[in-house]
């Protein structure tokens, strides 16, 4: 019985050997080596590829990247006005980046992402006058004391001056190269952190930010 079992086992391995030799002869030794490598790779290799996620980033149309302050001095220069006013008007402006216009080039194998985003900008709606800090440096009412129109005219002059201050603050901030460079640097850091926070499972993530 034991002898028959040994003969059966030997016959089994002999058949496997014959089949393998047949495969090698059929497809050739180089092809067999490639097939063997691919088979082992598919079953034993642990991939380092991670799927980079950027979907929710493009939902941010006004990403705030920098808040700056400015002060304007506004005088009432219209000679027809009977109210003279000189104001110190402080205000703030916020640089934003429209990520809905951004483009992303992703390499999942190299764990690399290039984010092409619009340059930071400051819009009119992002300029805010700090009304509680406005100072009246000079004020003169040239109306007669019983002229009821003096109050309304004074309010109109003040509104006009505040509107002028808002425009000047926006112009000054937009033309300030130092503010713009700081806004770009801040935007780059914030965008990189956003991408990393969405891809914590991707190791050694290489992120590059490019402005257009």
The one-digit pLDDT tens for each residue of the chain (212 residues) are 544 444 444 565 666 666 665 665 565 555 555 555 455 545 444 445 568 888 889 888 899 999 999 999 998 766 556 678 889 999 999 999 999 999 999 999 999 999 999 999 999 899 999 999 999 988 887 655 545 555 667 788 888 899 999 999 999 999 999 999 999 999 999 999 999 999 998 989 999 999 99
68 with 39, same domain?
A: no
The verdict on residue 174 lying in a domain is yes
Query: What DSSP state is assigned to residue 115?
Result: E
Q: Which residues contact 99 (CB under 8 A, 6 or more apart)?
A: 57, 58, 59, 60, 61, 63, 117, 191
40 with 97, same domain?
A: no
**What is the domain range of residue 18?**
2-44
Residue spans of beta strands (DSSP E) within the chain = 63-75, 83-97, 103-107, 112-117, 127-129, 135-141, 206-211
130 with 198, same domain?
A: yes
Residue bearing tokens 């006013």 = 85
3-state secondary structure of 35: helix
118 with 187, same domain?
A: yes
Residue 186 is encoded by which pair of tokens? 């801040």
The verdict on residue 50 lying in a domain is no
3-state secondary structure of 1: coil
6 with 63, same domain?
A: no
The span from the first CA to the last CA of the chain, in angstroms, equals 83
């Amino acid at each position: 019985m034991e002898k028959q079992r040994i003969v059966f086992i030997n016959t089994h391995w002999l058949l496997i050997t014959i089949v393998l030799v047949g495969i090698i002869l059929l497809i050739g030794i180089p092809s067999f080596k490639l097939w063997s490598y691919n088979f082992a790779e598919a079953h034993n290799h642990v991939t380092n590829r991670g799927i980079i996620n950027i979907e929710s980033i493009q939902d941010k149309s006004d990403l705030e990247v920098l808040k700056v302050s400015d002060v304007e001095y506004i005088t009432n220069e219209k000679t027809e006005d009977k109210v003279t006013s000189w104001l110190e008007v402080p205000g703030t402006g916020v640089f934003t980046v429209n990520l809905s216009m951004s483009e992303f080039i992703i390499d999942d194998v190299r764990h690399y992402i290039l984010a092409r985003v619009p340059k930071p900008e400051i819009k009119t709606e992002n300029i805010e006058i700090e009304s509680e800090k406005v100072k009246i440096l000079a004020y003169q009412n040239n109306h007669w004391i019983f002229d009821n129109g003096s109050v309304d005219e004074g309010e109109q002059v003040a509104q006009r001056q505040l509107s002028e201050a808002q425009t000047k603050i926006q112009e000054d901030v937009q033309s300030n190269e130092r503010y713009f460079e700081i806004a770009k640097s801040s935007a780059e850091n914030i965008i990189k952190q956003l991408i990393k926070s969405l891809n914590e499972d991707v190791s050694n993530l290489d992120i590059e930010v490019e402005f257009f």
